[in-house]
Amino acid sequence: MREADRSPDGGSFVYPVGDERGGERLDRFLAAEAAAAGANLSRTRLKGLIEAGLVSIDGATVKDASQAVRGGQVIGLNVPAAVDPTPLGEDIPLKIVFEDAHLLVLDKPAGLVVHPAAGHEAGTLVNALIAHCGASLSGIGGVRRPGIVHRLDKDTSGLLVVAKTDAAHQGLAKTFADHGKTLALAREYLAFVWGVPARPSGVVDAPLGRHAIDREKIAVVPASRGRHAVTHWRVIERFGEEASLIACRLETGRTHQIRVHMAHCGHPVLGDPVYAKGFKSKAARLPPEAQARLNALSRQALHAALLGFPHPVTGAAMRFESALPPDLQNLADALSVSGNPMPFVPILDRR
């Protein structure tokens, strides 16, 4: 191993790849090299650094942790200097749809990470919330997750509720943990999926856990090593035989639940870079405008469109809806067989 410009808490490193190491995944190669050098860098941390553009192969930036390395290549790694674990407030615009003294509901855009993590130490929703709420933000979630009761994937858009006080945080956490069994909780998503389901509606009841080989992915697993996960779905609109718009209601809230469950059914979410890789060739069957819209999307076509819950302090019924954002509305319009724009209709009125 060779290194350059190393500081006590970060540095720039260079790792030549021996012929015997050819074929290894990039993140595994780096994890082994870092461990051999005594550096405390987990594969999760390294994946974040790779996706943040801090790793190069022969001088060219790479962002795919699963890419195989080859003998003779030179891997470059830049590890940022350590930062204060307490996130700082940042002036990031927020689309707030409701706010009172106890909580706020916002419409999160795609691309916004919810809380700081490896590779995303700043520019997150938490940074924006700290700036917006100041000292009133609930601290129950810890310094990295203040006010956060539930989350959306970085590239999923839509409604999210945040606790501003500890009392609200406790009440909301109880509601979300109940999953709507005894307390009123409604969460529905709009998802554009490949193909047309054989039935107008259905339920996916399949436990989820870490993928046996790729630990960064979630998969349907045996109940003995998975967590109970249930997704209710129904078809909203069919776009020929190639794609459909469905509404998904969560009975549980597991990581990547909708994305994994719909892929398990043979109808993965359009644009999903992880769980719909095998469906990329189907894009050629879409109308040209739809192909262009899908290529421009650069994210999974998933939107948290409905959020309903009892106010954690007053008990009042709260219900919010979010229309498709422009990128997904453009995709819907391009997919429409009739060529007419698809108007947004409140989800509960679509039954």
Active-site residues, by number, are 153
Assess contact for 114 and 162: CB atoms under 8 A. Answer: no
Tokens at 287, concatenated: 């109308």
Q: Rounded CA gap, 75 and 13, in Å? A: 8
Element (DSSP H or E) covering residue 222: none
> Minimal CA–CA distance to 109: which of 157, 162, 160?
157
Distance CA 209, CA 176 (A): 20
User: Residue 127 is inside which H or E element, if any?
Assistant: helix 125-133
Cβ-Cβ contacts under 8 Å for 119 (sequence gap 6 or more)? 47, 48, 49, 50, 51, 52, 54
Question: CA geometry: angle at 294 spanning 289 and 297, to 5°?
Answer: 125
Which tokens go with 120? Answer: 């995303």
**Between the CA of residue 210 and those of 1, 48, 260, 287, 294, what are the distances in Å?**
32, 18, 11, 36, 28
Going by their DSSP bridges, the two strands 230-239 and 243-250 should be labelled as antiparallel
Round to whole Å and give the CA distance between 65 and 99: 39
